[in-house]
Amino acid sequence: MLDKNGIAKRIAKELQDGYYVNLGIGIPTLVANYVPEGIAVEFQSENGVLGMGQFPFEGEEDADIINAGKQTITTLPGASFFDSATSFGMIRGQHVDLTILGAMEVSETGDIANWKIPGKMVKGMGGAMDLVASAENIIVAMMHTNRAGESKLLKTCSLPLTGVRCVKRIVTNLALLEVTENGFKLLERAPGVTVEEIEDATEGNLLIEGEIPEMHI
């Protein structure tokens, strides 16, 4: 089974040289720590920066330089700042190659719900709806089940949707899956996890073809 860093490490293997990448809050943020050697990627934050670097050294924080999670950050050589409309132009215009975000639920058709629990949590969608409506390539990083042990990979989402038919791949603590026309296709098992355990934790249709390899991270 993978922990949050393990999920981030596996997703980092999907990064390709030359990619512009938008990272959501939570597990996706950790992906920046595991960029494979020898490839160049640039991280975009929708509040208006391309070329995000690490957190600043203590005492060097700048209130005017933050990421979408409102954390203080630094920039790397080649970075740029821009306004919010330009930022979402990059996203809507499909100039950002890969979007990695968290989810509360994903359906077997690729619908995603991650912004609202009616009556409980109403914080807003931020940029998530723009991202999922436009990105060509969306990877969801999440736990396979919720705190109550219920599957988050469903036939249909029960929570209000963020976007429809948009998720391409999902990396959970148990598996790497691809969303296909016929449901979730199991591509890899997390280390030490059996196919049966993944079946038990998946409510939506799960496609298992042949031997399922264990992932290398």
- The answer to whether 88 and 130 have CB atoms below 8 angstroms apart is yes
Q: Does 20 bind other proteins (CB under 8 A)?
A: no
Q: Which of 127, 139, 144, 170 binds other proteins (CB under 8 A)?
A: 127
Instruction: Dihedral sign for Cα 94, 49, 16, 205, please.
Output: negative
Establish whether 181 is a catalytic residue: no
Look up residue 60 and give its two tokens.
Answer: 């060097």
Closest CA to 23 of 140, 133, 159, 123: 140
- The answer to whether 66 and 73 have CB atoms below 8 angstroms apart is yes
Choose between 179 and 198: whose C-beta lies nearer to other proteins.
Answer: 179
Write the burial class of residue 181 (CB in 10 Å: 0-12 exposed, 13-18 middle, 19+ buried).
exposed
Choose between 83 and 200: whose C-beta lies nearer to other proteins.
Answer: 83
- The answer to whether 134 and 94 have CB atoms below 8 angstroms apart is yes
Catalytic residue among 14, 42, 46, 196: 46
Residue 8 host element (H or E): helix 4-12
Q: Which of 163, 172, 184, 204 binds other proteins (CB under 8 A)?
A: 163
CB of 202 to other proteins, least distance (A): 23
What letter represents residue 177's amino acid? Answer: L
Choose between 133 and 208: whose C-beta lies nearer to other proteins.
Answer: 133
Q: Cα separation of 10 and 131, whole Å?
A: 21
Q: Which of 99, 114, 162, 202 binds other proteins (CB under 8 A)?
A: 162
Q: Does 160 bind other proteins (CB under 8 A)?
A: yes
Q: Which of 5, 35, 130, 187 binds other proteins (CB under 8 A)?
A: 130
Choose between 46 and 188: whose C-beta lies nearer to other proteins.
Answer: 46
CB of 201 to other proteins, least distance (A): 26
What letter represents residue 196's amino acid? Answer: E
Q: How many CB atoms lie within 10 A of CB 120?
A: 6
Choose between 44 and 202: whose C-beta lies nearer to other proteins.
Answer: 44
Q: Which of residues 42-101 bind other proteins (CB under 8 A)?
A: 45-49, 54-73, 81-85, 87-88, 91-92
What is the CA 46 to chain-centroid distance, rounded?
A: 14
Q: How many residues bind other proteins (CB under 8 A)?
A: 52
CB of 46 to other proteins, least distance (A): 7
Q: Which residues bind other proteins (CB under 8 A)?
A: 45-49, 54-73, 81-85, 87-88, 91-92, 111, 122-130, 133-134, 160-165
Which residues are identified as catalytic?
Answer: 46
